[in-house]
Structure formats: structure tokens, C-alpha cells
Chains A and B, each alone.
Chain A
């Protein structure tokens, strides 16, 4: 009875879960912050902990109580708890909404979930809507249910995966989204699962940057930011007064965002042209400060009434770009350079063909790209197929090995006879998907045009071979777009395949069934826009566009549909350098959005109009200008920008298991 259902469950988790199988996410050692009436004693172990799990006490999305959800194992029993955070001093949650403040301490206590044994739980129903956040509803054996718990930082899947490891859960036959929970009693099951116990997982450096990005701004946080800005500008009396004031009354006079902006500007100033800053302190700085204050989100109500919206549109004034000041006073992006030439390339290699200074190479390509005829060679390094320190001879050897490896994998599907294929639905389906897509991929490029073009067949063979190389991921729409320029440059089946494999190592999560890779990038993008253009962020929030799905195509296939063929090759090699940031593509997104911010806000675009507008930008974006803008934004955002991007966000390499996917941290509030 259990077997098919277990099978069903794991099948659902597909690719991502198969990569994480058996990790369990257990972290040893009990959590010191773990109190709240829970019977603390030796041997209690937090096996799952997730921050920013949120309850909406009313129908209004803006009213929310965020907290931490945990699964704690004590002896043979598993308990679930959810403890709301204490209200943050400035009343802002991690999304920058000033929402919690309206809720009383009583509300908070009311919703707290004191440790409830999983044996009391009847079922968990999960909801993974695409508009909004995923949530679950836990139903107790008594028939009572907890209010929906929204996973603002993801983690519903891990929650279920962890549950699955410790208690029997089976999928309801009626509804695939309902999981029936039984207590963990069968001793055989228990011993089986203890065999699976994870290799020792270490918690990295206490607080990861993910926590920095998503943590509820706390008093300590503001203090720290204050301290930092104060350090740069000790002489500004106005500033120290504000600083003092803030320390005494952290409540609401300046939002954290403003402080973040200050630290951003001052960091930028310190790093580059601090003298300009000091000279203009008395005038520009003040005006900048005033501007910042004006844009503080507190002045824009979280829920604007229709009449307010109206007046907003009537005066037709779009809030100015908060970085306008930087544009005027500081160098905005470096001028683009001509592409890397053969001579330069030759000079970068030692006598055996090693790249002597990979950083210099990446920098050079970041600022200028690569001449077309060099791409074939250089892309292999950028994509990570070749190591920078490898020699010519090593690479030649590798190529021959890889060629036969490719042939081996390819022969796996080639050997499937038509009769066998008849009984192999998954194979037929997969082949069908690929056949449908290759014939409509870049057929207007002369390389792929015409009837029965053998290059189209190559695309097919490589993609089908890839779907055997990575059977769990398979083929997804969009992959043919990613392969096309690679094949065009490599002009060799096996080399193109391996370069594609390298690219997919980073972009694979974009295609996960649960869309996690996409969600984390879209989320990071929203945080970056919030940091770099608060008025635009506020506009998008008010227009209910914060899910950023209008940027889905940009991110899924790295802007492939947005630029002409030659341009896309240029952009890709710039992105692949990972020179300023692994996530430079997100800064490109911000740069494009900022470029059209006036139009977006001025015309009061709603989601539909915005998506249409964005899709129609295709082929009309000035690449060099956008790269320059993105570069400046990336530098400007500095560490604050990096902190917006959770670790493991594609195209970062997936987080290794031993970095602790489910690390438990002490209470941060």
C-alpha cells in the first residue's frame, strides 16, 4: 500500500528533490533559542527551520505576522512549531511593508503554534499558486486547522521532504496536494531512516547572506547601518543629530530603506570618489538626503485608496530616479571596449596554452566581449568546460575523451528501436517535445534556415542526448534557445554538447518543475529594484506586479529573445565572465526596467500592459548602454546588492549539501 504512494511522492519532487535525496536537512544540536514552552531536554533536534513563514490574519495581504516554522525531533516524536517574530522596531517586515505594526501582541500570541506533535496532525495541504506565495494548511486530527502558513522564503517542498523522512506521509488519493500524516511508529521504518542520516552538515559561518537579505530589519540592523554611515560622515552635524535621534527612537522616523541608501551612497563614495562627496556635502548631499526622505516608503501608503491612486496619476509626476544624483556626479559605467582580439588572446596564454591571469581575461571580456572567431575557443573557458589553468595538450586530450563519452550517451537513445519506443512513452514524449521545438528555433538565422537543414537535426540530437545525460531534468522549452548560439559558435556536435552541459549546470534550476530557480531569481530581482529604485518598487507593489513574472522570459533564457543573434552572443559572454557579479543578469534586468521606469509609472501600467510592453521591447534594447547602466548599478549596489540575492540563486552553482540547506540559527530577534 505504501510503496506506490511513496513512489508517487518522490516522482512529484522530480529533479530538484532527486538532487537532494537523502540529505534530510537535519542539523545536530538543539537550538538555544528554542523556548516557548516546549519541553526542552537532551536529544531534541531541530530537523527543519524556516524563516519568514507568515500568517495573514485577515483577508488583506498587507496584514501579516511573520515567524519561524520548525520541525523538532524529540526521541521518537516529531513536533511542529511556529513562533512569530517580535515586532520589529520600525514596523517593517522583510518585504519592506509596514504591516505588522497594526497587529497587536495579542494577535501574535493568538496565532503562535506551540509545539504540536505530528501524531496530532491529520493532513497537510499544500498550495503552490503562481501569483503570490506558496502556502500550506495543516489540519489536525481533531478537525481543527491552523491558518494558512505562507512560505515567503520558499521551503514548502523541504518541509514536506523533511516530514517524509521522519513520519509516514502518503498522498491522498483524492487530491494530489493533500498529504496524510501518520505518526512515526514503525521501528523498522525508524531504523531505516536513521541509516539515511545525513553526513555531518555544518552550519556555515552562523549567518549566511541569505539571512541578511531576508531577515526582518531589526534594531541592531539599523544601528549597524547607522554606524557605518556615521563612520564616513562624522562631520555632518545634521547627520549625527539624526543618528542620535534614531538611536533613541528607533520606531518610525526614518525607514531602514533610507538608511540602506545612505550606506550605499557612502560606500560608493568611499570606494570611488569620496572627495567629490566631501566637497559637495553641504549642498548635494543635503538635497539627496531630502530626496531620499521624500521617497521613503512610509510616505506612500502600503494600500493606496482609489482616490489616492487617481491623484497620483492625475498630476502625472513620476517620482525621480533615486540614483539620478550618482549619475550626475559620478562616472556612470565604463565606456565599452572593442572585443578581445586574436593578438590580445595570444598574449594572455603561456607557452603551453595556460591562461596566466584569468581575472584579467574575464575583466577584458566583461568590458568588450570577444571577436567572433575567438568565441569557439574562449567560450569553453567562460562556460567552465575548460579550466583556465589547463594546457593545450590537456584540452586536446579532454576533447577526445569527451567526444567518445558523448557518443556513448548518444548511442543510448539511438539504440532504441521503433518497437522498443512503442513501449517507452517517456522517450517518445521527450523526443516529440524536442522535435516540435527544434524546427521552430532560430530558423530565420541562415545557419538554421531551409528545409531539412542538418543543423536542425544536430540541435535535435544534442538535446535528446542531453535529456539522457540528465534524465531527471529532461527537455524543457527554452533549452533549444540556449543551445542554438552555442552550436552556432562551436560548429561541433560533441563540443557544443559539453558546453551546453556546462551552461546547464548553472541554469538547470531555471527549468525545475517547481520553478524554484526562477522564483528565487525573480525574488532577488524584486529586492534589487527595491534597493536601487524604491519609487519603482513601490509603484510595482501598488500595481500588484511584485512577482516580476513580466521578466520571466528574460531570466529563463538569458535574454535570448530580447536581442538579435550577434548581440545575444555578446551579452552572454559578458554575463559568463561573472566578473562583477555572478548575477549580473539581474542587474541587466534592473537597468532595463530603470530605463523605462518613466513610461511604466507614467502610463500606470498594470500587469498585463507591463508584460506586453516588456515582450515588445524585444529587439529594441540598446545593449551597450544597458550593460553600462547595469555595471554602474552593480557597483553602486555593492554588498547591499549582493545581500539581496540568496545563496544558491541561479546561475550560482547549486548549494552543496554540506553547506546546510536547513541550517538552524539562533533566534535573531
Chain B
């Protein structure tokens, strides 16, 4: 989930996609500017972080790179749960990998955070002569499903920084509110907004447990968030219900108790 402090946003991003589609290669290109012809397969998961400047703020992307094989599918929710963004990668020279990407899209729509920013990356765009998936087909699919789409090449670096940058720009403002708010409040919020049962919400809540903030900081952040929400609602950028709920929640939280 994305969190904010002094014009600085932390956001969790997860890479999903078939094995060999180039997830690790994309991260490696983005984070270290390297490309390895024989990039090892990912076992379990790997974690990277990279900070970007977007407009007048900085965004630190905390990137989870997962293992692609179907067999390890059951581990994936652990990594996409609580993510603010996802890049679903396929290999343009491999139709199966595109089909797999569609499955990931479905799964995220079903299980993921509804406000997740999702990108579709058609990787290995340098291998034009081996292409099996056309940009038109993938683009149309992306449009239908509200994803933004780019063809990338980890090898030539084409569009690699762009796709991460584009994600950073699209991170929704209101997810910034979650900074440092205590797990219980969050839980309640999740139960209310997502209309899920308590025990389901517990799963949602887990990623937030690691937030370590003292109370003063929480209050400051919540005030900032409140101001932000007010501004947004003036511009009619928030849905009405959402807005009310958030305000109610903020009022409760910012009330000078203890």
C-alpha cells in the first residue's frame, strides 16, 4: 500500500507473469541499469527498491519480484496483497505467456486491492521477428480491463523506466492516507469500504502491521491527509461516499483523545 510523508510516497509494487517473461530482467534494468543474458530464475521472491522523482514529490517504489512458475502460484498472494501497484509481464514472442498474463489480471481483479494501479508489459519487444502477440491485441485487452499498456525491452531498456515512472504518476492520492494509521482503524476501514468479513480483512490488514510510527507522527500524517482529502473533494475528485467515509474516519482519528 502506498504511504506518504513530506512529499514522499512509499508504494509497494509487485511484478507478476509467466516464468521467463522477463520480470527480474525488467527490475534489474530499472534498479541497476543492467541486463543479463542468462538471468537466473527467481526462487521464492526478491525485493528491490528504487526512488523516483514525480512532479514535486519523490516516490519510493518497493518492488517485489516473484517466481513465475505456476507451481509457485500459491505464494503470489503474499506478495501482491497490499500492493499499490502491479506490473503484469508477458513475453511478446510467447502466446502462452500472454494467456497467463490475462489470468493474473483476473486474479488481481478478484483478490487484489481494488485501487491497485495495474500495468501490462509486453516484454522482449526487441525480438520483433519472433513476435507472436501483436501490440494491437494486447492494447485492446488492456483498454477493456483498465490497465495501461506498454511494450518493453529489458535488453535494450526501451520503455523500462517509462513504465515504472508511469505507475508512480498514477498512484491514487487517497491511498496515501494509510500512512501510519493503526491496524485496527485500518481494519475497520477495510471492512467498511470493501465490505468484507472480519476474517477476510485480517488478511488485508497484515501488510500494515509493519508500519512503525509513533502517535505524534500518525496525527500529523492524518492531518495532512485530511487537508488533502478536503482539497480533493473540493475538486470533486473523490466519490461522494468514499469521501464521507474517509472524513468520518479522519475525524475519529484526529480527535484529541488520550
Chain A residues within 8 Å of B, Cβ to Cβ: 56, 59, 61, 128-132, 135, 147-148, 306-307, 309-310, 313, 429, 432-433, 436-437, 439-441, 443-444, 476-478, 480-481, 511, 513-515, 543-544, 547, 549, 552-553, 556-557, 561, 604, 606-609, 611-612, 615
Contact A476 B69 (CB under 8 A): yes
Interfacial chain B residues near A59, Cβ < 8 Å: 187, 198-199, 201-202
Contact B212 A309 (CB under 8 A): yes
Contact B74 A128 (CB under 8 A): yes
Interfacial chain B residues near A56, Cβ < 8 Å: 199, 202
What separation, in Å, do the CA atoms of A553 and B78 have in the docked complex?
15
If A131-B77, A557-B43 touch, does A306 touch B213 (CB 8 Å cutoff)? yes
What separation, in Å, do the CA atoms of A478 and B202 have in the docked complex?
32
Interfacial chain B residues near A553, Cβ < 8 Å: 43-44
Whether, in the assembled complex, B129 has its beta carbon less than 8 Å from a beta carbon of chain A, the answer is no
Smallest CB separation, B16 vs chain A (Å): 14
Interfacial chain B residues near A130, Cβ < 8 Å: 74-78
Smallest CB separation, B98 vs chain A (Å): 14
What separation, in Å, do the CA atoms of A130 and B39 have in the docked complex?
26
Interface segment, one of B1-9, B149-157, B203-211, B220-228:
B203-211
Interfacial chain A residues near B75, Cβ < 8 Å: 130, 515, 549, 552
What separation, in Å, do the CA atoms of A440 and B42 have in the docked complex?
11
Contact A549 B201 (CB under 8 A): no
Interface segment, one of B45-53, B131-139, B170-178, B238-246:
B45-53
List the 7 closest A-B pairs by CB distance, nearest first. A552-B44, A606-B210, A436-B20, A130-B78, A443-B38, A612-B47, A553-B43
If A440-B38, A544-B210 touch, does A556 touch B44 (CB 8 Å cutoff)? yes
Smallest CB separation, B73 vs chain A (Å): 9
Task: Give residues 124-151 of B contacting A (CB, 8 Å).
Answer: none
Interfacial chain A residues near B49, Cβ < 8 Å: 612
What separation, in Å, do the CA atoms of A562 and B246 have in the docked complex?
46
Interfacial chain A residues near B67, Cβ < 8 Å: 477
Q: How large is the interface on B (under 10, 10 to 19, 20 to 34, 35 or more residues)?
A: 35 or more
Interfacial chain B residues near A443, Cβ < 8 Å: 38
Please, which residue of chain A has its CB at the minimum distance from the CB of B94?
Answer: A432
Contact A615 B20 (CB under 8 A): no
Smallest CB separation, B211 vs chain A (Å): 9
Interfacial chain B residues near A557, Cβ < 8 Å: 43
Interfacial chain A residues near B19, Cβ < 8 Å: 433, 436-437, 477
Task: Give residues 189-203 of B contacting A (CB, 8 Å).
Answer: 198-199, 201-203
Contact A561 B187 (CB under 8 A): no
Interfacial chain A residues near B187, Cβ < 8 Å: 59
Interfacial chain A residues near B206, Cβ < 8 Å: 131-132, 544
What separation, in Å, do the CA atoms of A609 and B49 have in the docked complex?
10
Question: Which residue, A440, A515, A561, has most C-beta atoms of chain B within 10 A?
Answer: A440
Give me 9 other A-B pairs in contact (C-beta within 8 A), A129-B77, A544-B210, A615-B46 excluded.
Answer: A306-B212, A310-B214, A313-B212, A437-B41, A477-B41, A477-B42, A552-B44, A553-B43, A608-B64
Contact B202 A477 (CB under 8 A): no
Interfacial chain A residues near B62, Cβ < 8 Å: 608
Contact A561 B43 (CB under 8 A): yes
Interfacial chain A residues near B42, Cβ < 8 Å: 477
Enumerate 20 A-B pairs (CB-CB under 8 Å) in ascending A order: A59-B198, A132-B202, A148-B199, A306-B213, A306-B214, A310-B212, A310-B214, A436-B20, A436-B41, A440-B39, A477-B43, A477-B69, A480-B41, A515-B75, A552-B44, A553-B43, A556-B44, A561-B40, A611-B45, A615-B46
Smallest CB separation, A108 vs chain B (Å): 19
Task: Give residues 50-99 of B contacting A (CB, 8 Å).
Answer: 62, 64, 67-69, 71-72, 74-78, 81, 96
